[in-house]
Amino acid sequence: MAGIYTWALRLSYLSFALQMVVIYYLLSRRLWPVYPGLLAYISVNVLQGCLLFFLYRHWGYRDHRTAQVAWGSQILCLLARAWAIADICRLLLGRYRGVWGLAWRLLSALACGLVLYSLASAGLVWNQAVLKASIGLELSTVMVLVALFLFARHYEIVALPEIRALALGFFIYSSFTVLNDKILQIWLGPYVPGWQVFATLPFIGSICLWIWAVRQPVGKTAPELAVLPRDVYYALTPEVNLRLRVLNERLSRLWDREEHSR
């Protein structure tokens, strides 16, 4: 058992060092205006790590106050992560004013709905509630990322490799956390040491992806899009939809006729 704790501690040190590397690249390459959310998230994570390190030494690992501060500080981490993911959405779709206006409304509604559902379904028993809420919130992150890239694919928007790497980093971390928390929820006590190791390992993988992303050459600012006059959309889109509706109705009638003729 002590061996696993040692491994967990070593992995935490490694993750701490790698996070410092991300911060270094973000600051030295002046990328913080591009990825402010990522910088905030990694910084909050590092500060949370330092705080917990101090509390573990001061109050001990099994003290209930330590657990409460640990889970409480997680709220800040989650908020910073939401900011980082919002940045990914903006970097991917922000150039397209109309589509971005629609996307942020849809994605915000989806995120709010999922977060509220996660919190509401978590219940009021402290131990279970925190774990259930954590699973729900991580699952919300995963779903928002999937929805974002489905949206981008629908409009054939190609993501830059660094944006993909950032998103994949968050996706990997959140999806592994969902599984890890679910296993903890099922087995509880005996799984705690393993849970710590398996919480840090995917996070290290994610940080490696983020390091790769922030080391990519900074591209020139994309040229402004030639935006169409507002009237074009309002004139053409209802027309296209109408024709598609007519076609569907006719295909449906044909289908019904085939069914009746049998």
Partner 1 sequence: MSLLLLLPTLALVILLAGVLLWSLRSTRKAPLDRICAVDLEETGQRHATHCPQIRQALDARDFSYLTASGGPKLTRRIRRERRYVVKDYLVALRGDFDHLLRLARAIALLSPEVVAVHELERFRLTLQFHWRCRVIGLRLLFGAATLPQVSDASDLVSHLAVRLEAALKELGERAALAVEMASSLDRRNMNTV
88 touches partner 1 by CB under 8 A: no
**Least Å from the CB of residue 26 to partner 1:** 24
Nearer to partner 1, 50 or 106 (CB): 106
Pick the binder of partner 1 from 158, 190, 218, 256 (CB under 8 A): 158
Instruction: Write the binding mask 107 to 146 for partner 1: x where contact by CB under 8 A, - elsewhere.
Output: ----------------------------x---x--xx-xx
Q: How far is CA 142 from CA 20, 26, 70, 186, in A?
A: 25, 24, 23, 21
**Least Å from the CB of residue 262 to partner 1:** 10
**Least Å from the CB of residue 100 to partner 1:** 9
CA 16: distance to chain centroid?
A: 20
Q: Are 121 and 136 in contact (CB under 8 A)?
A: yes
Nearer to partner 1, 83 or 96 (CB): 96
Q: Are 83 and 37 in contact (CB under 8 A)?
A: yes
188 touches partner 1 by CB under 8 A: no
Nearer to partner 1, 17 or 106 (CB): 106
Pick the binder of partner 1 from 183, 197, 204, 211 (CB under 8 A): 183
**Least Å from the CB of residue 3 to partner 1:** 24
- Specify the stretch interacting with partner 1 by CB under 8 A; choose among 11-19, 41-49, 124-132, 170-178: 170-178
258 touches partner 1 by CB under 8 A: yes
- Taking Cα atoms as reference points, which of 125, 122, 149 lies closest to residue 138? 122
Nearer to partner 1, 28 or 259 (CB): 259
Nearer to partner 1, 44 or 163 (CB): 163
- Specify the stretch interacting with partner 1 by CB under 8 A; choose among 53-61, 81-89, 200-208, 223-231: 223-231
Look at phi and psi of residue 129 and say left if phi exceeds 0, alpha if psi is from -120 to 50, else beta.
alpha
Q: Which residues bind partner 1 (CB under 8 A)?
A: 95-99, 101-102, 105-106, 135, 139, 142-143, 145-146, 149-150, 152-159, 164, 168, 171, 175, 178-179, 182-183, 186-187, 224-230, 232-241, 243-248, 250-252, 254-255, 257-258, 261
